[in-house]
Amino acid sequence: MRKSLLWLGATALLALAWGLTPGPAQAQKKQAVAPNLPLQKEFRIVRSMSKQAVACIQCHKLVSPGIFSDWAHSRHASANITCLDCHKAEEFDPDVAKNHYKVYEKGDNPWAKSEYRVPISGVVTPKDCSRCHPDEAKQYAASKHANTLQIIWQIDPWLNLGQNSDFERVNGCFTCHGTVLKVDKNGKLDPQTWPNVGVGRLNLDGSRGSCSACHTRHRFRVSEARKPDTCGQCHLGPDHPQWEIFNESKHGSIMRSQGQGWNWDAAPGTWTPGVDYRTPTCAACHMSGSGPELTTHDVTRRLSWELQAPLTIRPQNFKPWPSKTDWREERTRMRNICLQCHSNAWVDSHFTHMDAAVKEYNEVYYLPALRKLEELYKQGLLPKDAAFRAPLWVQFYELWHHEGRRARMGAAMMAPDYSWWHGFYECKKRFVEFMHKADELLKNHQKAYVAPSLPGATGSTRRPPQIFGPKPK
Amino acid sequence: MNRSRVLHRRLALPAAAACLLALLALSLAGPAWATPYFSAQTNKPCSFCHESPQGGSSLTPQGYAFRAAGFYLDPKALPVAWRSWLNLLAGFVHIATAIVWFGAIFYIHLFIKPRALVRGVPQGERLLGLGSIILLALSGAVLTWLRVPNLEALLHTTFGIVWMVKVFFFLLMVATAVLVNTWLHRRLQADAEAASRDPLAQFDGQEGRPAHIAYSGQLYDVGGSKLWPGGEHMRRHRAGRDLTADLAAAPHGPEVLERLPKLGPAPASPDPEALGPTARLLVVLAYLVLGCMLVILLCLAWWNWGPPLVPAAEPFRPQLAQACVGCHQKATPAVHHDWGRSAHARAKVSCLHCHQAGRGDRDIDQRHQAYFASGQGPWAQARYAAPVAAVVTPRDCSRCHLRQSQEYARSKHAASLSIIWRSDPWLNQGLSSPLERSLGCLRCHGSMLKADAAGRLDPATWPNTGVGRVNLDRSRGSCSACHGRHAFSLAQARRPEACGVCHLGPGHPQMEIYAESKHGAIYRSQGHTWRWDAPPETWTAGVDYRTPTCAACHMSAAGRTPATHDVGRRLAWELQAPLTVRPQDFAPWPAQRPWQQARQEMRGVCLSCHSPGWTDSHFKQLDATVREYNELYFRPVQAKLEVLYDKGLLPRDAFFHSPLWTTYYELWHHEGRRARLGAAMMAPDYAWWHGFYELKQRYTRFMQRADHLLASGQKAYLAPVLPGAIGSRRPPAALGEPSRWP
Q: Percentage of residues in chain B with pLDDT exceeding 90?
A: 44
List the single residue in B543, B557, B609 with the smallest CB-CB distance to A64.
B609
| CB contact A74 to B (< 8 Å) | no
Q: Judging by DSSP bridges, how do beta strands B212-215 and B232-233 pair with one another?
A: unpaired
Q: Do A36 and B621 touch (CB under 8 A)?
A: no
User: Which residues from B are below 8 Å from A29, CB to CB?
Assistant: none
Cα B506 vs. chain centroid, distance in angstroms?
42
pLDDT band at B21 (very low <50, low <70, confident <90, very high): low
Distance between CA atoms of residues B535 and B556, nearest Å: 11
Q: Do A36 and B557 touch (CB under 8 A)?
A: yes
List the single residue in A35, A188, A216 with the smallest CB-CB distance to B522.
A216
pLDDT band at B1 (very low <50, low <70, confident <90, very high): very low
Over range B350-374, report the average pLDDT: 83
pLDDT band at B36 (very low <50, low <70, confident <90, very high): low
User: Which residues from A are below 8 Å from B546, CB to CB?
Assistant: 70, 216, 219
Do the beta carbons of residue B146 and residue B86 sit within 8 Å? yes
SS3 of B219-275: the string is EEECCCCCCCHHHEECCCEECCCECHHHHHHCCCCHHHHHHCCEEEECCCCCCCCCC
User: Which residues from B are below 8 Å from A38, CB to CB?
Assistant: 540-543
At residue A400, does pLDDT exceed 60? yes
Residue B689 per-residue DSSP state: I
Residue A387 per-residue DSSP state: G
Distance between CA atoms of residues B422 and B428, nearest Å: 7
User: Which residues from B are below 8 Å from A122, CB to CB?
Assistant: 611, 613-614
pLDDT reported for residue B273:
56
pLDDT reported for residue A118:
94
Shortest distance between the Cα of B65 and any Cα of chain A, in A, equals 29
For the entire predicted model, the pTM comes to 0.73
B410 φ/ψ angles, rounded to the nearest 5 degrees: -100, 5
CB under 8 A, 24+ apart: contacts of B72-81? B72/B395, B72/B398, B72/B402, B72/B405, B72/B406, B72/B409, B73/B42, B73/B44, B73/B402, B73/B406, B75/B741, B75/B742, B77/B149, B79/B146
At residue B682, does pLDDT exceed 80? yes
Over range A192-209, report the average pLDDT: 94
Distance between CA atoms of residues B689 and A126, nearest Å: 28
On average, the pLDDT of chain B sits at 84
List the single residue in B682, B690, B703 with the smallest CB-CB distance to A451.
B703
At residue A213, does pLDDT exceed 90? yes
Shortest distance between the Cα of B699 and any Cα of chain A, in A, equals 8
Distance between CA atoms of residues B675 and A369, nearest Å: 30
List the single residue in A170, A192, A456 with the smallest CB-CB distance to B632.
A456
Q: Percentage of residues in chain A with pLDDT exceeding 70?
A: 89
pLDDT reported for residue A20:
46
Q: Do A64 and B608 touch (CB under 8 A)?
A: yes
**Most B-contacting residue of A175, A190, A214, A392 (CB-CB within 10 A), to test interface:** A175
List the single residue in B559, B607, B611 with the smallest CB-CB distance to A122.
B611
| CB contact A68 to B (< 8 Å) | yes
Residue B129: its H or E element: helix B123-147
Shortest distance between the Cα of A219 and any Cα of chain B, in A, equals 9
**Most B-contacting residue of A233, A398, A430 (CB-CB within 10 A), to test interface:** A233
**Per-state percent for chain B, helix, strand, coil, to nearest 5:** 60, 5, 40
Beta bridge partners of B451: B457
Comparing A233 with B264, which gets the higher pLDDT? Answer: A233
pLDDT reported for residue B133:
93
Distance between CA atoms of residues B742 and B731, nearest Å: 25
pLDDT band at A343 (very low <50, low <70, confident <90, very high): very high
B233 φ/ψ angles, rounded to the nearest 5 degrees: -115, 120
Full strand arrangement of the beta sheet holding B212-215: B212-215, B218-221, B262-265
What does R_g of chain A's alpha carbons equal in angstroms?
29
User: Which residues from B are below 8 Å from A216, CB to CB?
Assistant: 518, 522, 546-547
Distance between CA atoms of residues B488 and B478, nearest Å: 12
Do the beta carbons of residue B316 and residue B356 sit within 8 Å? yes
pLDDT reported for residue B30:
35
List the single residue in A97, A172, A227 with the smallest CB-CB distance to B687.
A172
Residue B634: its H or E element: none
Over range B83-106, report the average pLDDT: 91
Q: Do A172 and B522 touch (CB under 8 A)?
A: no
pLDDT reported for residue B34:
47
**Most A-contacting residue of B518, B601, B606, B698 (CB-CB within 10 A), to test interface:** B518
Cα B588 vs. chain centroid, distance in angstroms?
27
Predicted confidence (pLDDT) per residue in B609-651, tens digit: 999 999 999 999 999 999 999 999 999 999 999 999 999 999 9
Count the residues in chain A.
473
List the single residue in B521, B543, B697 with the smallest CB-CB distance to A69.
B543
Predicted confidence (pLDDT) per residue in A82-138, tens digit: 999 999 999 988 889 888 999 898 888 888 889 999 999 999 999 999 999 999 999
Shortest distance between the Cα of B512 and any Cα of chain A, in A, equals 10
Give the residue on A whose Cα is nearest the Cα of B618: A195
Q: Do B516 and A176 touch (CB under 8 A)?
A: no
Predicted confidence (pLDDT) per residue in B534-552, tens digit: 888 889 888 899 999 999 9
| CB contact A63 to B (< 8 Å) | yes
Distance between CA atoms of residues B631 and B586, nearest Å: 18
Q: Do B525 and A237 touch (CB under 8 A)?
A: no
Distance between CA atoms of residues B291 and B295, nearest Å: 6
Angle at B363 between CA B358 and CA B366, to 5 degrees: 95
Largest pairwise CA distance in chain B: 141
Q: ipTM of this model? A: 0.82
Distance between CA atoms of residues B138 and B134, nearest Å: 6
Lowest mean pLDDT among A271-285, A324-338, B86-100, B372-386: B372-386
Beta bridge partners of B233: B237
User: Which residues from B are below 8 Å from A39, CB to CB?
Assistant: 538, 540, 543
Hey, CA dihedral for A129, A131, A136, A138, is it positive or negative?
A: positive
List the single residue in A66, A230, A234 with the smallest CB-CB distance to B525.
A230
Lowest mean pLDDT among A8-12, B48-52, B402-406: A8-12
Beta bridge partners of B218: B215, B265
Q: Do B540 and A69 touch (CB under 8 A)?
A: yes
Q: Is A32 buried (19+), middle (13-18) or exposed (0-12) by CB count in 10 A?
A: exposed
Distance between CA atoms of residues B321 and B351, nearest Å: 6
User: Which residues from A are below 8 Å from B540, CB to CB?
Assistant: 36-39, 65, 69
pLDDT reported for residue A23:
41
pLDDT band at B200 (very low <50, low <70, confident <90, very high): confident
- A430's CB contacts (< 8 A; 6+ apart) are A395, A398, A399, A403
pLDDT reported for residue A30:
42
Buried b / exposed e across B23-40, counting CB within 10 Å, b at 16+? eebeeebbebbbeeebbe
Give the residue on A whose Cα is nearest the Cα of B633: A455
pLDDT reported for residue B16:
58
Q: Do A173 and B617 touch (CB under 8 A)?
A: no
List the single residue in B518, B687, B693 with the smallest CB-CB distance to A233.
B518
Lowest mean pLDDT among A314-318, B208-212, B272-276: B272-276
Beta bridge partners of A189: A183
List the single residue in B517, B636, B700 with the smallest CB-CB distance to A389.
B700
Q: Give me the helices (H) in A314-424, please.
A: 327-338, 344-360, 367-378, 391-398, 405-412, 416-419
Give the residue on A whose Cα is nearest the Cα of B529: A260
**Most A-contacting residue of B512, B525, B632, B697 (CB-CB within 10 A), to test interface:** B525
Distance between CA atoms of residues A273 and B86, nearest Å: 81
User: Which residues from A are below 8 Å from B559, CB to CB?
Assistant: 35-36, 65
Cα B698 vs. chain centroid, distance in angstroms?
52
Lowest mean pLDDT among A207-221, A245-259, B242-256: B242-256
What does R_g of chain B's alpha carbons equal in angstroms?
41
At residue B330, does pLDDT exceed 70? yes
Q: Do A36 and B546 touch (CB under 8 A)?
A: no
Give the residue on B whose Cα is nearest the Cα of A37: B559
Do the beta carbons of residue B92 and residue B71 sit within 8 Å? no
Beta bridge partners of A382: none
Give the residue on B whose Cα is nearest the Cα of A224: B525
Residue B113: its H or E element: none
Q: Do A456 and B620 touch (CB under 8 A)?
A: no
Contacts with B, A 381-410, CB within 8 Å: 388-389, 391, 394
pLDDT reported for residue A155:
95
Q: Do B679 and A171 touch (CB under 8 A)?
A: yes
pLDDT reported for residue B304:
82
DSSP readout, B428-485?
Answer: HTT-S-HHHHHHTHHHHH--B--B-TT-PBPTTT-S---TT-B-TTS-B--GGGTS-T
Do the beta carbons of residue B552 and residue B527 sit within 8 Å? no
Number of CB pairs < 8 Å for A and B? 176
At residue A424, does pLDDT exceed 80? yes
On average, the pLDDT of chain A sits at 89
Contacts with B, A 169-198, CB within 8 Å: 170-176, 188-189, 191-192, 194-195, 197
